[in-house]
Amino acid sequence: MKVERKCKIVSKEQMGDAIYMTLECGDMVRTSFKAPGQFVHVKCGEGLLLRRPISVCSCQEDEPQDLLTIVFEVRGEGTQWLANRPVGHSLDVLGLAGNGFTMKPEGRYLLVGGGIGIPPMLGCAQYTSGKSTAILGGRSKDKIILTNCFEDECAKVLVATDDGSLGHHGFVDALVHQELSENNNYDAVLACGPKPMLRNVAKVAEEFGIPCQVSMEERMGCGVGACLVCACDMADGSRKHVCKDGPVFDSKEVDWNA
């Protein structure tokens, strides 16, 4: 059950170009957590500004209030407003929304995060029991965040940067290919990041016959399936709502040429 809550900002930290924010969220995790990869829809502004979707990085049931962390970059007016909120301020948050990744705690996953798609993969890493591998990618080393947290939760962490300033010089799909060539004993590849990255990762997973789930990023309006702003083209010609049917889809469902 998705709920609307006033959530107090209890900490806020700059992390590279991103802001890492922890919120007290009442019983939101207890009542609406389904799986890692869900998002919250945060009212970003006092006026008529719409809510903005931000992925849950990690969340936990707690007393007296559940805790959730979000990590975001400033892109425009809404995220700038959010970045300016001080610790102690209460945000109007709708969540937890969306489906999340289909995964089992005892499973072994290849977790692939690109840029601001890295944080939600940490929730996936925390959900499993240390057997997964994380592949983190970004334009340069400043975009590679939370590496220590992934190292605590995963058996292996690999990094790729477009400019070669950290790890492999190139895109994450090359590392996905390398890892699956050496060891393809994974239950699934799970990925979050820009669409071209997701398309390439899905292609590699398919080549190795490993199931792949992708978290799609579309602009959103209502966030509850009522406005079609977030429609995503599917391979069978249908259109699905990223907010209600996603944001996570089986990579074979998505029309990558749309």
Per CB under 6 A, residues contacting ligand FAD are 39, 52-55, 71-73, 75-79, 116, 119, 217-220, 242, 247
Among ligand FAD, ligand FES, none, the one that 227 touches (CB under a kind-dependent 5 to 8 A) is ligand FES
Among ligand FAD, ligand FES, none, the one that 225 touches (CB under a kind-dependent 5 to 8 A) is ligand FES
Q: Among all residues, whose Cβ is closest to ligand FAD?
A: 76
Among ligand FAD, ligand FES, none, the one that 134 touches (CB under a kind-dependent 5 to 8 A) is none
CB-wise, 20 or 186, nearer to ligand FAD?
A: 20
Q: Output the smallest distance, CB 231 to ligand FES, in A.
A: 7
The torsion angles phi and psi of 251, rounded to 5 degrees, stand at -60, -25
Q: How far is CA 258 from CA 57, 235, 242, in A?
A: 28, 9, 15
Q: Which of 155, 103, 159, 105 minimizes the C-alpha distance to 133?
A: 155
- Residues in Cβ contact with 44 at an 8 Å cutoff, skipping those fewer than 6 apart: 50, 51, 52, 77, 78, 79, 81, 82
DSSP 254: B
Q: Output the smallest distance, CB 2 to ligand FAD, in A.
A: 14
DSSP 251: G
CB-wise, 144 or 210, nearer to ligand FAD?
A: 144
CB-wise, 3 or 222, nearer to ligand FES?
A: 222
CB-wise, 52 or 240, nearer to ligand FAD?
A: 52
Q: Output the smallest distance, CB 245 to ligand FES, in A.
A: 9
- Residues in Cβ contact with 245 at an 8 Å cutoff, skipping those fewer than 6 apart: 99, 225
Find out whether 157 and 78 touch, Cβ atoms under 8 Å. Answer: no
Contact residues for ligand FES (CB under 6 A)? Answer: 220-223, 225-230, 241, 243
Q: Output the smallest distance, CB 225 to ligand FES, in A.
A: 5
Q: Output the smallest distance, CB 209 to ligand FAD, in A.
A: 28
CB-wise, 155 or 226, nearer to ligand FES?
A: 226
Among ligand FES, ligand FAD, none, the one that 39 touches (CB under a kind-dependent 5 to 8 A) is ligand FAD
Report d(CA 120, CA 125) in Å as an integer.
Answer: 9
Report d(CA 73, CA 75) in Å as an integer.
Answer: 6
Find out whether 249 and 238 touch, Cβ atoms under 8 Å. Answer: no
